[in-house]
Amino acid sequence: MTKKNSMFAALVAIAVTAFVGGVNAEEAIIAGGMNAGEGDSKAGKTKSELCQGCHGADGISIDPATYPNLAGQYAGYIFKQVQDFQLGNRQDDTMSAMAGMVTSRQDLKDIAAYFASRKQMKGKPSGSKAAKSGARLYKSGNKKLGEYGACVRCHGKNGKGKGKSNSLFPVIGGQQKAYIIKQLKDFKSGKRTNDPAGMMAMVAKGLSDKEITAVADYVSGL
Ligand code: HEC
Ligand code: HEC
């Protein structure tokens, strides 16, 4: 391991201990304070009509090139992201405006619970050459990042994170490919900075654009 790699390893180790080790305590603060099981998904169905216009009635995007899926995403994660848009911690012209329309925390919990309760997003493997190299990167990381860049450590074997009780790590398996590419590039360039302890920025900065496309091809097919 090179010196640079071992320093990176140490940083990731700190980040992961802080956020994986103390999930319950940390989650309440970082994930905006929504715990699994909170929120009324039935009420959320009606309250999310606006959202469904882009994210789909069942949380599967109506336009894969532009909008992400929310189906089966962890409620705490949806809640945190919308709050981040509201607070300006995450910026997108369209979505920031939409987030501003949700004025009550209870409404946001209900909406998040609704999308979380939908049949979880699932992709179809593309079988492409890129997806194969993306799979290697997903499972083992690359030269620059070492195994610390291996997505599987935080996003789980099938890209479904670490389960409902840990909404720190989002579902990415079966997410729209174009959206995954955009997020990785946004983390890499520093446009998106709302990731706890800069965990995703550290990873994305160690990926080439070609690797980003390859891993997105693989992940969207999970
Ligand atoms: C006009 C289209 C549109 C509407 C309506 C809309 N969104 Fe979005 N949403 C977007 C776009 C575009 C993005 C991706 C932003 C980016 O690239 O960072 C997004 C991203 C998100 C994300 C982040 C997903 C993730 O995996 O991190 C969440 C959560 C979200 N929207 C929830 C909502 C909710 C809740 C509503 C209703 C109050 C809503 N959206 C309404 C367009 C829309
Ligand atoms: C050290 C843990 C860790 C590793 C390793 C990691 N991620 Fe992440 N990732 C996160 C966290 C935490 C978030 C949520 C950031 C937030 O709260 O805004 C995230 C978010 C994402 C998102 C945005 C999801 C969304 O819905 O907006 C994508 C895409 C992503 N990761 C892809 C990857 C890929 C691909 C890899 C491997 C190359 C990877 N991640 C490796 C922790 C990690």
Residue 141 CB–ligand 2 contact under 6 Å: no
Alpha-carbon dihedral 87, 93, 94, 100, rounded to 10 degrees: 30
pLDDT tens digits along 156-169? 999 999 988 899 99
94 lines ligand 1 (CB under 6 A): yes
Q: Which atom of ligand 1 is nearest to the CA of 112?
A: 35
pLDDT at 17 over 60: no
Contacts of 14 (CB under 8 A, 6+ apart): 197
Average pLDDT, integer, range 46-59: 98
Span of 1-5, 173-177, 208-212 with lowest mean pLDDT: 1-5
Mean pLDDT on 132-151: 96
pLDDT band of 29, cuts 50, 70, 90: very low
